[in-house]
Amino acid sequence: MRSYLKSIVNIIILVVLLSACSFAPDVVKFQQKGNDLFGKKRYKEAIVYYEKALELNPNSAALNFNIGLAYRKFNLYKKAIPYFIKAIELEDAEKKQIKYEGLLEEAYKFIYTKEVEVVDSISAYEKFLSTFPSLMVKYALPGRLEELKYFQETAEERLQELIFNEVKLTNVPRAYELYMQYYPNSKYVKEARLLLDTLRFELTEQENTFEAYKEFVTKYPDSAFVDEAQSNLDDLIYEDYKFKESFKAYEEFASLYPDNIHREEAFDKLYAMLKDKDDVELYERFVSKFPDAMQAKEIRAEIDKLRYEEVKKKATFEAYEDFVYSYP
């Protein structure tokens, strides 16, 4: 039994060795044919033979490198890059420095300047940035990384500009919000914030309701339009009370909205109504509720005058005495 198993193992080893031996001449033959065609500048045909050799020997740095070089002759850098990268991964450090100096950087620059910039679209820049920067950072040779970063940064800036142009065409708050969220460091963020602020206020003005202005003032206290929104809100509130045109309405307004810009106007209305009524109790109620009102001093004088008129009507010693002690 042991002898039988040993025989099987020997047969398997022999088959593997024979297969390797049979592949080796084909690899050499295909590679050599590819080299001959490459030397004659018949690059398309050379690729065919290199790829045949690569099928038999996929871990050959030389074959991957040669295919990349052949595609490079047609400026097909997007096809060349995967082969260069594979070759770099298979090559030793010393040969990398000699054979691959500047090749990927050259490919990167060509793709950016001759393809991406020419198309100049959002999808072109997005595809470029999603693929090439990470590859370049990983495989760039020493001293070339800064050169590559220039193209990456330029692409990012142009992409942000194109997207911002689309956002402005859309001109809805959510578009500006998303732009600032995804590109917080974009040079267009300041403009986006201003346009968003303007748009929010314009939409609020179009709605022109108490609820809309109240929401704007509450949600966006740092807005450049917050004072104008508050002013419009004050107008709406006051108009609602003014429409009722009653002492009670103005009194309630002045009590509920001490910071409203129309409060002094409401006080004037109240004062005019008080003078018509000429009632001490109403005067006293006003002074008690609104001691800070500009009209309070005049109303106190009116109260004194009315009280004294009552005393004069009575014209008694007790009435005058009580007045003097009560209102020193």
Tell me: the pLDDT tens digits for 221-280?
Answer: 999 999 999 999 999 998 988 888 888 888 888 888 888 899 888 888 888 887 877 777
pLDDT at 11: 39
Higher pLDDT, 317 or 164: 164
Question: CA torsion sign, 69 to 70 to 75 to 79?
Answer: negative
207 belongs to a structural domain? no
Least confident of 55-59, 124-128, 305-309: 305-309
Q: Of 44, 67, 95, which residue is a domain's last?
A: 95
What's the mean per-residue pLDDT of the chain?
82
pLDDT at 22 over 70: no
Task: Name the band, by pLDDT with cuts 50, 70 and 90, for residue 207.
Answer: very high
Question: Count of domains in the chain?
Answer: 2
Place of tokens 């008080």: 274
In a domain, 29, yes or no: yes
* CATH number, domain containing residue 52: 1.25.40.10
Mean pLDDT of the region 72-93: 85
Give the whole-angstrom CA distance, residue 263 versus residue 248: 14
pLDDT of residue 48: 92
Q: What is the pLDDT of residue 150?
A: 82
Residue that wins the pLDDT comparison between 294 and 41:
41
In a domain, 18, yes or no: no
Q: With b meaning 16 or more CB within 10 Å and e meaning fewer, what string describes 198-224?
A: eebbeebeeeeeeebbbebbeebeebe
Residue 285 domain-assigned (yes or no) = yes
Tell me, yes or no, whether 111 lies in a domain. no
Of the pLDDT bands very low, low, confident and very high (cuts 50, 70, 90), residue 161 is: very high
Does residue 277 sit within a domain? yes
The residue among 65, 95, 125 that closes a domain is 95
Higher pLDDT pick, 244 / 163: 163
- Does residue 214 belong to any structural domain of this protein? no
**How does residue 129 score in pLDDT terms, banded at 50, 70 and 90?**
confident
Q: Confidence band (pLDDT; 50, 70, 90) for 320?
A: low
Could you tell me if residue 215 is inside a domain?
no
Percent of the chain with pLDDT over 90: 34
Checking if the pLDDT of 204 tops 70, the result is: yes
Indicate the Cα dihedral angle 198, 200, 205, 208, nearest 10°. Answer: -160
Q: How far is CA 128 from CA 94, 131, 135, 155, 188, in A?
A: 30, 6, 11, 8, 21
User: Rounded CA gap, 50 and 70, in Å?
Assistant: 10
Query: Cα separation of 295 and 185, whole Å?
Result: 55
What is the Cα–Cα distance from 43 to 45, expressed in whole angstroms? Answer: 5
Q: Which domain holds residue 45?
A: 23-95
70 closest CA partner among 79, 61, 57, 58: 79
Inform me whether the pLDDT recorded for 164 exceeds 80.
yes
Contact 296, 286 (CB under 8 A): yes
Per-residue pLDDT at 21: 44
Residue with the two structure tokens 């990384």:
145
CA distance linking residue 323 with residue 315, whole number of Å: 11
Domain end among 95, 113, 134: 95
Specify the higher pLDDT residue, 320 or 198.
198
